[in-house]
Amino acid sequence: MAITVKIDLGYEFAVKAKAADVFKLLSDVPASVAHFPKVEKLTDLGGGAYQWEMEKVGTAQVNIQTVYASKYTSKFDAAKGSGTVKWTPVKGVGNALVGGHWKISDQGKSTALELAIEGTVDVPLPGLMKMVVAPVVEAEFEKLVDKYIANLVKKFGGEA
C-alpha cells in the first residue's frame, strides 16, 4: 500500500543576470540540477529525458527515496529576451511524477523568473499514515526547492 502526496509549488522572483545567461543555465539540465540540493544521481535517458534519484530522507527504520524521470524541452526568443524550460513526467520510472516549467523574461536591468512544479510522490506506507506523512513530504520538497532557488539567485548575482 502507498500514500500519494501531491506537490504544487509556484515561485516568482527576479535576478540581476541577463535573460540569455539565465536561460543558458536553466535549459542545461545537468548544469541546473547541479544547484539542486540532495540529488544523489542524475541519469541522461536520452531524447531530453533525465532520471532524478534523490538522497534518502528519514530515519534508518523509515526512509523515503524519491526517484522519477522528466522530459525537458526549451526555447528562447532572443528578440524578446524570453524563454521557457518545460518538463513533463515520464511514466513508469520510479515513485513520482514531476512536471513544471521555468518562464524567463528580460526586464531590462533584471530577469524575471517564474517557476512552477507539480506532481505526485508515492510513499510506501499505510494509508493511515497519510495525515502525518503528507505534510512532511510536502515540507521537505518545498525546502529543497527553496534552497535550489537560493543557490540560483546566488549564481545569478543576487535578487533584483
**105, 81 in Cβ contact below 8 A?**
yes
- Overall number of domains in the chain: 1
pLDDT tens, position by position, 12-39: 999 999 999 999 999 999 999 999 999 9
Q: Is residue 152 predicted with pLDDT exceeding 80?
A: yes
* pLDDT tens string 52-98: 999 987 777 667 789 999 999 999 999 999 999 999 999 999 999 99
Q: Is the residue at 160 inside a domain?
A: no
Cβ proximity of 16 and 110 under 8 Å: yes
Residue span of the structural domain in which 67 resides: 3-155
Identify whether 62 is part of a domain. Answer: yes
Looking at per-residue pLDDT, the higher value among 137 and 97 belongs to 97
Which CATH number belongs to the domain containing residue 48 in this structure? 3.30.530.20
44 lies in some domain: yes
